[in-house]
Structure formats: C-alpha cells, structure tokens
Structure 1
Amino acid sequence: MLGLSKTRSELPEMLVFDILSKLPVKSLIRFKCVCKHWSSSFQTPLFITQHHHNHLRNNNLNFIFKHSLGDSSPDLCYFNLFPLYTEDGQSFSLKQNIRLPFFDDRWRFPEVYGPCNGIFCVESEDNLALWNPSTRQFKILPQSSVQRPPAADYTEFESVGFGYDSQTYDYKVVRFVSNNYKNDNETKQVDLYSLNGNSWKEISVPEVSALGNSWYDNHVNGIYYWAASGANDVGYSCILSFDMVNERFSTLSLPGFNGGGFLEYELLLLNFNGLLGAVTFSWETILKSIEIWVMSGSWTKLFIIESVPGIDMPLGFWKNGELFFENSDGELVLFDPSTRELKNLGIHTCCKESMSIIAYAESLVTFN
C-alpha cells in the first residue's frame, strides 16, 4: 500500500499582507483576533500607509454629508452629519446620522478639517478633537498650554490647519489665535499641537492672515494650505502654507483669476489627485463661471464651467470627475462637465448654502 504524503501550501507573508491591505477596516478589525502577529502588524506605519494608499488608488472613497435641518431661517436651523451612500453611482441616500462625542450641541455645529490619511480634526469654539470615522475612534485634545498676554481682554480662536509629518509619523494641528484688547487692538499667536507629544507649543506668526475654509481637503503631501489676506487687503492676496515637517509658513501666488472682495469671488482649496487644487467662482453672477486650477510648479487651468443655470455652491468631486453642487433651491445635484448633464439627487437642505461634502478613504490610524 502506497503511503500518502500530505503537502501543505503556504502563501508568502508579504503576499498575505498585501492582500490584507486591500480589505475594509471593518474586516481588519475582526481579523486582529486571528493572531497577535496580525494584530500588531495592522498597527505599523508601513501597513497603515499601504492600506490607505490602496484605497485611494482604487478610488474606494466614502462620503460624509453635512446639511441643515429644522427651520428655514439661518438663525434657527441646526446641522447633522450623515454617511452619503450609493450602490450604483446613480441613486444616492442618507442613512443614520453620525454622532460626535463632546460636540453634541446642534446649534453650534463643529467645523471639520481634513481628511488627512483618513482622519479629521474637529473644532468647536476652543475644543478640538481628532476623529477616525472608519474605526470610530475619537480623541479630545488637551487645552493649549501657550501663555496669553495678561492684558488681553479676551481670546478668539480662528483658523485651523491639520496635517501629517511623515518623518516623525506625527499628526499636527495648527491654530491661529487672536488676543483682543479693550482699546480695539489685537495681537496674534499661533499654537501647534503634536499628537506624539500630546502637547502644544507656540510658533512664529506669519505676515498674512489665514482665512479658514473647513470641509475641504487642504492638506497635500505634508503641507496645509489656506486662502490668505494681508493686513490691508479686502479680498484674497495669496495662499498661505504650513510645512508639517519643518514647521514653517510660506506663501504662494493666487491662480490667475481677477481677485476681488469677498462679496465678488470665492477661492476654495483642495487636494486634487495629490496636487494642490483651487476652485474659483463669483458670487455675483447668476450664470456662474467656475474655474478649476492645479498647482504643479505653476498654476494651470484644468477646465472652466460656464453658464450653468441654477447652481450655487460647489461642494466637491465625485469618483468619476463629476462635481457636487448645491443648486439655487437648496438641493444636492451632480454635474458632469463632459456632458454638461445636471442630475438632481433628491436630497435637500432647509437653509441655503449650508451643505458640505467630505470624501475620504478608510484608515487604520489610531491615536494611542
């Protein structure tokens, strides 16, 4: 009788983890129970980065939608967050709203900055937190220990920036502070938070003022960007940037549009396929002209959208190059620049110009 040989086939470990890095976060959290090696490997910077890049490369994006509920008056409406779902790319739906711990005051909805590697910075008045919607982890940041001028009457917290230092694997938050005095004077400070140290420090103040626009992905390759204004400027004068590695501010020129006051032009900055992108449009024109620019050594105009009746506010890009807009009736619409087709998605808001959409790829980043 011939003996039977039992063979065992094993996949190389590198291939196994390459396969695992393409799975959803929900599956990987479950697979942490397989063995200690898998559990610890899922938390290495290399695996976390590979997993996030795979989801970005495959365009596996999730969308969070913010809109107002309640009364149509801006003073009486309140806000909620919802996951924005689609099964076929044609029909869209909102499911259960997202609750943010520590930010549960519906009348003072927090600003959301990011995403940066799939996580967000959440701000409400003087409170800040980091949030990973994929793992549902939430970390409230400590109050800043930076000393304020003793003669200041009160302090206001202004623009925020949030990004990643790839050299030290550290997430950092930049916050601009205005110290106000009874004689109407003010002084500026800038605080910088490090997740690695879980602490704040004071850094130098730039010569221009950052004009915050949350709900857009302003972090590109370790640098955070703000539209900025000089001391005597009515509108935008430049773009302010902060390098998360060397912790320094710098400025760059605006794209080539006819800049004006805030009531005339709007400038939205965003991450456009790994490059700094800019969306410019006018508030004044009924048939708006919307320009899309990208920075690659210099500003290049990618395309222009002209004379589309009924659209108001650009909200961001869908997976295939289409753009989300809020229309003049407060409804969410999707615009295809190639066909100029405008599709109503059946989602509306009570208060005009209150919609926002954030796209992000899943992340395993933890705050421990």
Structure 2
Amino acid sequence: MSDFMESRALLYALRADSWREIKIELEAIFLPNDKGVYCKGVYYWLNKGVPGSKKTVLSFDMSEEVFHSIAIPDHIQKEIGNLRGPTTGNDSIVFFFLLKNSWNSTSFEVWMMVRNREGVPRWSKNLTVRSLVCIYAPLTFWKDDELLMETRDGRVVTYNLHNQKFRQLPT
C-alpha cells in the first residue's frame, strides 16, 4: 500500500481571469506554513507535515506548474523548531538554523539551497555565525553580505558578515 494521497491546488490565471485545478503528485502530506518566499520563478514553503513526518520544503514552479519536495537536512529534523525561514539570499533559498544559545547571545548556521549539475536541489551549510550578543534571531538577508537581525529588545539591526559590525536602523 502506498502513502500516496492525491492532493490538488487551485491556480488562478490573471490573463484568463479564471481558476483551474492542478494535481499535486507527491508522496507525502503537505501542510505548508503561511510564510513562503518567491525566488527565480519558484515559490517555496516550509512543509509542517504531520507530527512524526519528515520535514521538507514544498516548492511550486510557476512556469512548469509543478510541485516538488526537498528534504530538510537530517540533523535539523530533530530540532525543527530552531529553523527560521525560508528567505532569500544571494539568489538562493536560505534557512537559518539556531544553535544552542546562552541567555544573552545567539549563534546560527546559514543553509542555502544549491543545485548539482543535473539541477537537483540540495542543502549546503554556507556559514556559521557565533555568539552575537543581544541578538534574538536572524530575519533575512538585506544585501549579499548583510543580514537583518532582531535584537532581544525587539529592535531591528543590520549585521555585516564581512566586517562583523552592527548598524542600528533608524526608527
């Protein structure tokens, strides 16, 4: 017996001003979160799935009108609550994985989706940022080398990955 469940999505065509149904032909239950991101013609969501299921990223290719599933790295599966994203950075899909932190500092890994020569996506740990004092969590890339970060007191600052300096944004 297969785990395959037939799912469908409704697609609205602006030009035709009409809705149509398309099949989602994947072998998993998909319950995407509401925070998706668009990059290079594809929309991505973190798939919450059902309790006990492997967490994945669900993608929808706008031109091909096809859904795909990309597995989250195994070591992150165990601590999925520490995953932030998806977001975009350097023309790729990015997740931030929060590491064990002290009460006043934050460390995290930056995971980017890369494609092999055949175009198959996989996750690559791009860098690790350690012991940022008074930072709650990374939010997104602002520029190629700068992150927007939320402080523990709710402010938003930029953090330059090259010179490792913070800059407070005007309020």
Normalising by structure 1, we get a TM-score of: 0.38
Partners of 1:241 and 1:320 in 2: CA distance:
23
SS of the aligned residue for 1:258 comes to: helix
CA-based RMSD: 2.6
Residue in structure 1 matching 2:42, options 223, 227, 234: 223
Partner of 1:291: 109
Distance 1:268 1:257 in 2: 17
Matches within 5 A, 1:1-368: 190-205=9-24, 207-214=29-36, 218-233=37-52, 237-255=55-73, 257-260=75-78, 264-281=81-98, 286=103, 287-297=105-115, 298-319=122-143, 321-347=145-171
Cα gap change, 1:220 to 1:255, in 2 (>3 Å): farther
Distance change (3 Å), C-alpha of 1:257 and 1:344 = farther
Name the % identity.
26
Shift of 1:330: 1.2
Q: Which piece of structure 1 moves more, 337-346 or 283-292? A: 283-292
Number of equivalences: 155
Q: Which residue identity lines up with residue 55 of structure 2 in the other structure?
A: S
Offset, 1:284: 6.7
Aligned to 2:118: none
Q: Which has the larger radius of gyration?
A: 1
For the 8 Å contact 1:332–1:346, the answer to whether it is kept is no
User: Counterpart of 2:30 in structure 1: which amino acid?
Assistant: V
- Partner Cα separation in structure 2 for residue 244 and residue 346 of structure 1: 37
Relative to structure 1, is the Cα distance of residues 197 and 258 closer, same or farther in structure 2, using a 3 angstrom cutoff? Answer: same
Q: Which has the higher contact order (CA 8 A, sep 6+)?
A: 1
Contact 1:227 1:267 (C-alpha < 8 Å) held by counterparts: no
> Aligned letter for 1:272?
G
Post-superposition shift, 1:256?
Answer: 5.6
Query: Is 2:156–2:169's contact at 8 Å kept on the other side of the alignment?
Result: yes
Q: Amino acid of the residue matched to residue 276 of structure 1?
A: I
1:230-271 Cα deviation digits (max 9, x unpaired): 32337x611111121232212112146433456x31231223
- The answer (yes or no) to whether the contact 1:324–1:335 under 8 Å persists in 2 is yes
Native 8 Å contact 1:315 1:323 kept in 2: yes
Which structure: greater strand fraction? Answer: 2
* SS of aligned partner of 2:110: strand
Over 3 Å counting, the alpha-carbon distance change for 1:323 and 1:301 in structure 2 is same
Higher helix share: 1
Q: Which amino acid aligns with 1:198?
A: D
TM-score (norm 2): 0.75
1:90-138 CA-partner distances (Å, limit 9, x unpaired): xxxxxxxxxxxxxxxxxxxxxxxxxxxxxxxxxxxxxxxxxxxxxxxxx
Give the whole-Å Cα distance in 2 for the aligned partners of 1:257 and 1:344.
Answer: 34
Task: State the distance in 1 between where 2:100 and 2:17 align.
Answer: 41
Structure 1 ranges of 4+ moved more than 4 A: 282-285
Displacement of 1:276? 2.5
Structure 1 position 325, deviation (Å): 1.0
SS in 2 for 1:239: strand
C-alpha distance in 2, partners of 1:221/1:343? 29
